[in-house]
């Protein structure tokens, strides 16, 4: 049986990817930002899942505004980094896990979550920046990744409750896969940020802190937060945080918080990062 062993959430700020790619992470501006991932990089050395289900949003890179699936599952063998207008990031091609992905597509769709099946998909900074933050600059990514793209770009995005429910369904789907696999689920995006309009640069530390607290111990009620509250409190792009609820739902009712980091600023965005462990997890495959 496959199992969910951990959940991780992080901002996916493109400038952080640039800082990695251009060798700037030790500069004064970036040093405290990347220091927040030291714990995670060490943890990730000791904890290599067989697959990561990486919940992210495409920023009109693979999808144009002509076609916008609400939830899209990457079922391909590999996913190339997208060209977002200045050439693709110099990062490895992402290796998928098409067997587990096909199982997830079947299990989730028959569980009444109508995902779009992606047999080809280029992945943008929403997916590649989190990999860089956790794994640095390897020749090849050390894990297989199943992309799960969520529309948070054009209204209406899915509700927080739908995202939490999808996470719960992902847990059931993973646990019904007959191979012995350790699977992590990552949520990305956020935290508070607004990139445009009169409120550009908005950051709300109180909202972000409460979001992190409630994500750990009060996820069911956090999931009821309406879109308009994300918009008011965390800026127009803060809605990316609904993707963290997919991750949270996949971990089951109770979690242990292993690591948390929050920092302002990085680019125009509050950097948030958390690592969670389901409390009913088993340490070893035999366990
Ligand atoms: C920024 C943050 C994002 O999450 C994003 O997708 C694009 C830009 C930023 O802070 O610049
Ligand atoms: Fe984003």
Whether 283 has a pLDDT exceeding 80, the answer reads no
Q: What is the pTM of this model?
A: 0.97
Flag whether 226 is in a domain: no
46 pLDDT higher than 60: yes
Answer whether residue 221 is part of any domain: no
Residue 223 lies in a domain: no
In a domain, 264, yes or no: no
236 lines ligand 1 (CB under 6 A): no
Average pLDDT across the chain, whole number: 96
pLDDT score for 70: 98
Per-residue model confidence as pLDDT tens digits over 229-277 = 999 999 999 999 999 999 999 999 999 999 999 999 899 999 999 999 9
Average pLDDT of span 162-166: 98
Q: Please check whether residue 225 lies inside any domain of the structure.
A: no
Residue nearest to atom 2 of ligand 1 (CA): 13
Query: Is the residue at 47 inside a domain?
Result: yes
Could you read off the pLDDT of 60-72 as tens digits, one per residue?
A: 999 999 999 999 9
The enclosing domain of 54 has a CATH number of 3.40.830.10
Range of the domain at 139: 3-188
- Ligand 1 center to 13 CA (angstroms): 5
Mutate which of 9, 14, 57, 264 for ligand 1 pocket (most atoms within 8 A of beta carbon): 14
* Known active-site residue 193: yes
54 in a domain, yes or no?
yes
Domain count, the chain: 1
Q: Of 12, 59, 125, 273, which is the active-site residue? A: 125
In a domain, 78, yes or no: yes
Is 12's C-beta closer than 6 angstroms to any atom of ligand 1? yes
Q: Which pLDDT does position 280 carry in this prediction?
A: 81
HEC secondary structure over the chain:
CCEEEEEEEECCCHHHHHHHHCCCCCCCCCHHHHHCCHHHHHHHHHCCCCEEEEEECCCCCCCCCCCCCCEEEECCCEECECECCCCECCCCCEECCHHHHHHHHHHHHHCCCCCEEECCCCECHHHHHHHHHHHCCCCCCCCEEEEEEECCCCCCCCCHHHHHHHHHHHHHHHHCCCCCCEEEEEEECCCCCCCCCCCCCCCCHHHHHHHHHHHHHCHHHHCCCCHHHHHHHHCCCHHHHHHHHHHHHHCCCCEEEEEEEEEEEECCEEEEEEEEEECCCCCCCCC
Residue 125 catalytic? Answer: yes
């Amino acid at each position: 049986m496959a199992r969910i062993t951990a959940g991780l959430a992080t901002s996916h700020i493109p400038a952080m990817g640039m800082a990695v790619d251009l060798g700037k992470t030790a500069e004064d501006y970036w040093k405290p930002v990347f220091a927040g991932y030291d714990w995670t990089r060490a943890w990730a050395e000791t904890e290599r899942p067989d697959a990561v289900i990486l919940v992210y949003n495409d920023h009109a890179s693979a999808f144009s505004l002509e076609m916008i699936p609400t939830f899209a599952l990457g079922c391909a063998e590999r996913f190339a980094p997208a060209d977002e207008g200045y050439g693709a990031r110099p990062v490895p091609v992402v290796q998928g896990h098409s067997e587990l992905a096909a199982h997830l597509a079947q299990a989730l769709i028959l569980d009444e979550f109508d995902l779009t099946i992606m047999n080809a998909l280029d992945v943008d900074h929403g997916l590649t920046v989190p990999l860089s933050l956790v794994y640095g600059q390897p020749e090849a990514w050390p894990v297989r990744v199943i992309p799960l793209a969520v529309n948070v770009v054009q209204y209406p995005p899915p509700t927080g409750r739908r995202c939490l429910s999808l996470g719960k369904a992902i847990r059931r789907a993973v646990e019904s896969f007959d191979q012995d696999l350790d699977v992590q689920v990552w949520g990305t995006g956020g935290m508070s940020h607004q990139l445009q309009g009169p409120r550009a640069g908005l950051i709300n530390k109180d909202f972000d802190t409460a979001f992190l607290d409630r994500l750990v111990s009060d996820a069911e009620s956090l999931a009821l937060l309406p879109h308009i509250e994300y918009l008011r409190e965390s800026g127009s792009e803060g809605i990316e945080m609904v993707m963290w609820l997919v991750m949270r739902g996949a971990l089951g009712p109770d979690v242990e918080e292993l690591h948390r980091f929050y920092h302002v600023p990085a680019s125009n965005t509050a950097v948030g990062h958390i690592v969670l462990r389901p409390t009913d997890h088993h340490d070893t495959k035999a366990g």
